[in-house]
Amino acid sequence: MLLTTEDQNELTPSSYLFTGLVGKRCETYIPQYAKGKLIDLGCGKVPLYDCCKNYIEDNICIDFSIHILAILKFHKYSIHVY
C-alpha cells in the first residue's frame, strides 16, 4: 500500500496532496503501464519512485526550481516551457 510520509520536510504541500489523492490509482496503474524509461516531470523528491522502480529500466527526473529559473533569466537564456 502506498503511504504518504507525515514528515513535512520531505514533501512540498502539493506533492503531499498529489501522493495522497492519487496513491491508490498509482498502485493500480504503475504495474500495468510503467516500463522502460520513465520520465517524471515535476518530480520534486520523487515520492513515487519506490512504487515504480521494480517495473522500469531507468527513471529520468525533471524538476523546475524558482532558483534555476532566476539563474537562467539572469544569464538571458531563453526559457521555453511546453
pLDDT tens for residues 57-78?
A: 998 888 777 766 676 677 766 5
pLDDT confidence tier of residue 2, bands split at 50, 70 and 90: low
Residue 34: which domain range?
13-74
Total domain count, the chain: 1
Of 47, 40, 41, the residue nearest 9 (C-alpha): 47
Is the predicted pLDDT of residue 79 greater than 60, yes or no?
no
Question: Residue 72 corresponds to which amino acid?
Answer: L
**Domain contains 49:** yes
DSSP 5-59: -S-TTTS-HHHHHHHHHHHHHHHHHHHHH--SEEEEET-TT-TTHHHHTTT-SEE
Residue 27 has what pLDDT?
81
Tell me, yes or no, if the pTM score tops 0.75: no
**Domain contains 18:** yes
**Domain contains 25:** yes
**Domain contains 57:** yes
**Domain contains 81:** no
**Domain contains 6:** no
**Domain contains 19:** yes
pLDDT confidence tier of residue 82, bands split at 50, 70 and 90: very low
